[in-house]
Structure 1
Amino acid sequence: MAYATLADLRGRLDWEPDEDELRIAAGALEDASALAAAYGRDWPADRAPQLVRTLVLKAAARYMSNPSGYTQSRAGDETLAWSDLGHDAGTVFFTHEEKRLLEGLAGTRPGLVSVVVSSWDSTIRPGVGGLVPVDYDGARFPMFSSDRGPW
């Protein structure tokens, strides 16, 4: 279940991949799609948002362009350097901003919310406050304030 096709990915590469690279590209698309579902949600492939497809292609193309995760290379002295990506170096990955975009698309971005807390079966009336049940016959007790007098 990939959110993008090999043909889409080939359009983003600046070279024509050979058969072995196409095999690796198919795996990269699968990995990027699985990560997109993990960071976002498991969208049906035919109804995923366009931005999900774009992010999957971006991550797969980034991997195909630099599968070892090098950040520096010198031809004369054979110098190679890896980035500080840690365990992400040489793998398909999403950047921090791409993860936030996926969370936003899925509606799973963490944050603070405010909720009304009230007693079970209570009634809140403007200007009166909350009334809470005090026994099984339906008698109610003012929880916050009362229009009958201040407390």
Structure 2
Amino acid sequence: MAYATLDELKGRLDWSLDAEELRIASAALDDASDLAATYGREWPEDTAPRLVKTLVLKSAARYLRNPNGYVQSRAGDETLQWSDIGRDAGTVYFTREEIRLLEELAGRKRGIASVAVSAWNTKPQAADAGGYVPVDYAGDPFPLFGDAVSPW
């Protein structure tokens, strides 16, 4: 299951692929698609968002440009160094921003959220209840906070 085709990947590269590179490119597309499904979710191929395809193509093309994971290139007295690759050098990978995009496309958001909690089989109190929680017995609600205006 690949979210992009080999022809689409060829369109992003500035050279023609030989037979060995075609084999590697096909595997890179499969790997990038598997990662996209892992970080996002498993979309059906024909209904995956366009951005998923774009990210898969970006990742596979990035790998094909540097399959050995070199972080430095030197020619004579000129040196070129890639500092953003890190431990992912030589692999198909997504950047942090790309992973965040895949998570958002899948409907997953990172972070802290607050969740309303109430006792089993009770109704939430009205908004003006001001810091009280319901009780199991027939009586007044229990004060959760000391002050209805400020909970602290």
User: Please, what TM-score do these two structures have when normalized by structure 1?
Assistant: 0.81
- The partner residue of 1:133 within 130, 133, 136 is 136
1:121 maps onto 2:121 in alignment: yes
Per-residue CA distance 1:37-56 (angstroms, 9 max, x = gap)? 11111111111111010000
- Give the structure with higher Rg (CA): 1
User: 1:57 matched to which residue of 2?
Assistant: 57
SS in 1 for 2:22: helix
1:44 maps onto 2:47 in alignment: no
Name the amino acid aligned to 1:127: D
User: 1:149 matched to which residue of 2?
Assistant: none
Structure whose residues are more often strand by fraction: 1
Contact 1:82–1:89, Cα closer than 8 Å, also in 2: no
Tell me, in whole angstroms, the C-alpha distance in 1 between the residues paired with 2:90 and 2:52: 22
Q: CA deviation at 1:18?
A: 0.9
Q: Where do 5+ consecutive residues of structure 2 fail to align?
A: 145-152
Q: Which runs of 4+ in 1 moved over 6 A?
A: 79-82
Of 118-127 and 106-115, more deviation after overlay is shown by 118-127
Per-residue CA distance 1:106-126 (angstroms, 9 max, x = gap)? 122211111112111222234
Tell me, in whole angstroms, the C-alpha distance in 2 between the residues paired with 1:7 and 1:102: 23
User: 1:11 matched to which residue of 2?
Assistant: 11
Contact 1:122–1:130, Cα closer than 8 Å, also in 2: no
